[in-house]
């Protein structure tokens, strides 16, 4: 069985390598440290590994369904930030699309056999919701247009270092030693993680597209497509609520994009 934390740490290290080696300009470390985005990237790296651990605790205490809903519904934070801070369009059609997107995310995240238990540690899903929203908002807000690869490399590198410290602690105190089979899974996840973050940032920088629209489309499309993949590849059961969520997701994307 693959150790999730070990695979996640390898994922962060792989994502760091992607950003570092794909940057096509000269890298001068002293200049990077003096940039106005470096401290934000360091803070985000710390937040990445922290929210991962909160996610794991939430799954243990409240169930996977709560994790899914809390992390995905957090998209409302960067959406509201874009509307109020960047003065993005907030017409009736767009607001309707955003509300429908949140409904779609909720419905597609519901499972037939739910292990949800909100009676335990209710603060954990709240922290997960807020933390995930802050990550999305901050990555978009602080990412420099010409140095996105380095920005992501610093974030993932910091998360990888902190994760490695946790793994070393676990190996010494808990005798939970590193397993080589975690490496290939971590590498695949790291490449996918870096690419998803990089292309999301590229989409957020496209002229004519507002961040609130991009986050809505990205989030609801991922949820709907992943649900369909679960049906087609893994033969997962999709309830009527899940199907309703997928249909609402399509409507919300149409409303948000056809402005």
Dihedral sign computed on CA atoms, order 148, 201, 11, 40: positive
Which pLDDT score, from 0 to 100, does residue 231 have?
A: 80
Q: Give the domain ranges of the chain.
A: 4-257
Which pLDDT score, from 0 to 100, does residue 27 have?
A: 84
Q: Provide the angle, in degrees to the nearest 10, between the axes of the packed helices 64-73 and 38-61.
A: 150
Which pLDDT score, from 0 to 100, does residue 120 have?
A: 62
* Among 78, 72, 105, residue whose Cα is nearest residue 212: 78
| Positions in the chain whose pLDDT score sits under 70 | 111-120, 259
78-101 tens-digit pLDDT: 999 999 999 998 889 999 999 999
Q: Is the full-model pTM beyond 0.75?
A: yes
Which pLDDT score, from 0 to 100, does residue 112 have?
A: 56
The rounded distance, in Å, linking the Cα atoms of 164 and 178 is: 10
Please check whether residue 31 is in contact with residue 209, taking contact to mean a CB–CB distance below 8 angstroms: no
């Amino acid at each position: 069985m693959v150790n999730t934390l070990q695979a996640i740490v390898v994922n962060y290290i792989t994502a760091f390598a992607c950003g570092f080696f794909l940057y096509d300009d000269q890298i001068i470390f002293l200049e990077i440290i003096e940039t106005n985005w470096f401290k934000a990237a360091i803070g985000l790296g710390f937040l990445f590994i922290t929210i991962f651990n909160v996610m794991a605790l939430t799954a243990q205490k409240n169930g996977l369904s709560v994790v899914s809903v809390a992390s995905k519904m957090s998209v409302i934070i960067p959406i509201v930030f874009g509307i109020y801070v960047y003065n993005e369009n907030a017409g009736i059609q767009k607001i309707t699309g955003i509300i429908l997107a949140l409904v779609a995310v909720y419905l597609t995240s519901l499972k037939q056999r739910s292990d949800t238990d909100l009676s335990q540690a209710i603060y954990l899903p709240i922290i997960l919701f807020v933390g995930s929203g802050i990550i999305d908002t901050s990555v978009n807000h602080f990412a420099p247009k010409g140095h996105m690869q380095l920005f992501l490399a610093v974030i993932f590198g910091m998360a990888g270092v902190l994760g490695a410290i946790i793994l070393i602690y676990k190996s010494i105190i808990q005798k939970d030693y590193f397993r080589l089979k975690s490496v290939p899974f971590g590498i695949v996840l790291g490449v996918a993680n870096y690419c998803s973050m990089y292309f999301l940032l590229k989409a957020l920088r496209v002229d004519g597209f507002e961040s609130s629209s991009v986050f809505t489309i990205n989030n609801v499309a991922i949820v709907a497509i992943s649900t369909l993949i679960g049906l087609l590849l893994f033969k997962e059961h999709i309830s009527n609520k899940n199907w309703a969520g997928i249909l609402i997701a399509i409507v919300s994307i149409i409303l948000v994009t056809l402005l």
